[in-house]
């Protein structure tokens, strides 16, 4: 069925005008962005196909590359760019909301809440530095490195330099594991120790290294995997 054959209340754009964006389903919101479908598939069907490929999750959809979007019949470069732009705006909105100017970081759960909007759904590893003053208040956060699917290399000199520039008294490293398993590997453990020793030269404390993986995280300082604030059974 073509979109024009639907009643006005069922057409995504008309529904958005009359009832507001919150009234639309995720597929309908995607349809507004896509604007049109193909001869054999209307724009709502195309949107549902996209969501199905992403297992119904916007977090997974946001990791799709331009090539993946363009592999769907009816989606060319212009539509793929529109989708990526909208998803990135959503990510940045969450990042802003999670980063008030005056914020005290007390534990790994705070770090997870601060960084998950930036790291969720990435298909590569990124390492970020979170810089704190003597009272534990956030001075800023900064991406230090961007790596591959299963590896990123942390430069201890860069971490120390940025901490000194920000006059930080302590630093927390944060990086993601796209695999979904937050447990640290040997490289993670080794690099953490190198950074800790480099910072200590300048009397700066490495408070923690938090590894984020979708809905769970590992804290070096707490030495456990946590999901939604609850400790998980140890992984054998």
- CB environment 80-113: b (16+ within 10 A), e (fewer): beebbeebeeebeeebeeeeeeeeebeebbbbbe
Look at residues 63, 95, 127 and tell me which one is the last residue of a structural domain.
95
- What does pLDDT average to in each consecutive run of 10 residues of the chain (236 residues)? 58 88 92 89 92 91 92 95 93 67 78 88 91 91 85 90 94 93 92 95 96 91 73 40
Q: What is the CATH number of the domain that holds 54?
A: 1.10.150
Say whether both 23 and 77 belong to one domain.
Answer: yes
pTM of the model: 0.59
Q: Examine residue 85 and state whether it is found in any structural domain, yes or no.
A: yes
Give the C-alpha separation, 130 to 163, whole Å: 9
Which of these, 17, 12, 74, 34, lies nearest to 4 by C-alpha position? Answer: 12
Say whether both 153 and 211 belong to one domain.
Answer: yes
Say whether both 204 and 158 belong to one domain.
Answer: yes
Say whether both 150 and 218 belong to one domain.
Answer: yes
Q: What is the CATH number of the domain that holds 172?
A: 3.40.140.10
Q: Examine residue 124 and state whether it is found in any structural domain, yes or no.
A: yes
In the prediction, which pLDDT does 164 show? 95
Q: Examine residue 236 and state whether it is found in any structural domain, yes or no.
A: no
Say whether both 43 and 111 belong to one domain.
Answer: no
In the prediction, which pLDDT does 236 show? 34
Say whether both 89 and 175 belong to one domain.
Answer: no
Domain count, the chain: 2
In the prediction, which pLDDT does 75 show? 95
Say whether both 51 and 64 belong to one domain.
Answer: yes
Say whether both 149 and 109 belong to one domain.
Answer: yes
Give the C-alpha separation, 77 to 137, whole Å: 43
The distance of Cα 228 from the centroid of its chain, to the nearest Å, equals: 16
Say whether both 55 and 133 belong to one domain.
Answer: no
Look at residues 71, 95, 119 and tell me which one is the last residue of a structural domain.
95
Domain that residue 28 falls in: 3-95
Look at residues 70, 95, 120 and tell me which one is the last residue of a structural domain.
95
Say whether both 114 and 226 belong to one domain.
Answer: yes
Say whether both 34 and 125 belong to one domain.
Answer: no
In the prediction, which pLDDT does 102 show? 58
The per-residue DSSP string of 63-75 comes to T--HHHHHTSTT-
């Amino acid at each position: 069925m073509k979109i024009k054959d639907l009643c006005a209340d069922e057409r995504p754009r008309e529904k958005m005008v009359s009832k507001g964006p919150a009234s639309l389903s995720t597929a309908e919101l995607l349809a507004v962005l896509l604007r049109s479908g193909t001869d054999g598939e209307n724009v709502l069907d195309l949107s549902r196909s996209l969501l199905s490929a992403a297992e119904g999750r916007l977090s997974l959809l946001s990791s799709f590359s331009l090539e993946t979007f363009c592999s769907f019949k009816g989606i060319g470069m212009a539509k793929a760019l529109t989708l990526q732009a909208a998803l990135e705006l959503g990510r940045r909105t969450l990042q802003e909301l999670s980063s008030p100017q005056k914020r005290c970081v007390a534990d790994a759960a705070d770090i997870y809440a601060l960084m998950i909007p930036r790291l969720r759904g990435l298909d590569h590893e990124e390492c970020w530095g979170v810089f704190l003053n003597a009272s534990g208040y956030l001075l800023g956060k900064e991406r230090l490195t961007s790596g591959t699917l299963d590896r990123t290399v942390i430069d201890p000199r860069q971490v120390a330099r940025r901490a000194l520039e920000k006059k930080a008294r302590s630093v927390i490293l944060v990086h993601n594991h796209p695999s979904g398993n937050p447990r640290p590997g040997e490289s993670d453990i080794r690099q953490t120790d190198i950074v800790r020793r480099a910072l200590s030269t300048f009397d700066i404390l490495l408070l923690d290294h938090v590894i984020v993986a979708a809905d769970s995280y590992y804290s070096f300082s707490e030495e456990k995997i946590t999901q939604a604030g609850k400790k998980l059974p140890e992984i054998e």
